[in-house]
Amino acid sequence: MNPEVQKKITEDVKSHKIIMYIKGNKGMPMCGFSKRVMDIFEDLGANFETRDVLSDPEIREGVKEFTQWPTIPQIFINGEFIGGCDIVTDLYTSGELKKMVDAVK
């Protein structure tokens, strides 16, 4: 992976408590899974940053290499990769995600 892209992602995930790489943005999600993840975090009252991978193909591929995870969306809390829509939904249903979000509020 392009070291510039890796550096940018590393800094981004470290400098935001909650950041998610999605298709589209808060006002205009372009994928059902990206929308669901944002809805979940909004429901938990979380402040979160988004990056639109559709507007930056290098980031779109770079983040997949960064996490060794082949799909979008990808969610980070406190610089740690949490998973995609599937895992975030499971964490939300079990109440675990609320604890994680409250811990970084």
Partner 1 sequence: MISAQKIQSLVEAALPGSQVQAEDTTGTHDHFQMIVVSPAFEGKGMVERHRMIYAILGAAVGGAIHALSLKTLTPSEAEKRS
Which span sits near partner 1 by CB under 8 A: 9-17, 39-47, 48-56, 87-95? 87-95
The one-character DSSP state at 29 is B
Q: Which of 78, 86, 103, 104 binds partner 1 (CB under 8 A)?
A: 86
Are 57 and 1 within 8 A, CB to CB?
no
Q: Which of 83, 92, 97, 101 binds partner 1 (CB under 8 A)?
A: 83
Helix (H, G, I), strand (E, B) or coil at 44: coil
Tokens of 101: 């979000």
Residues in region 1-30 near partner 1 by CB under 8 A = none
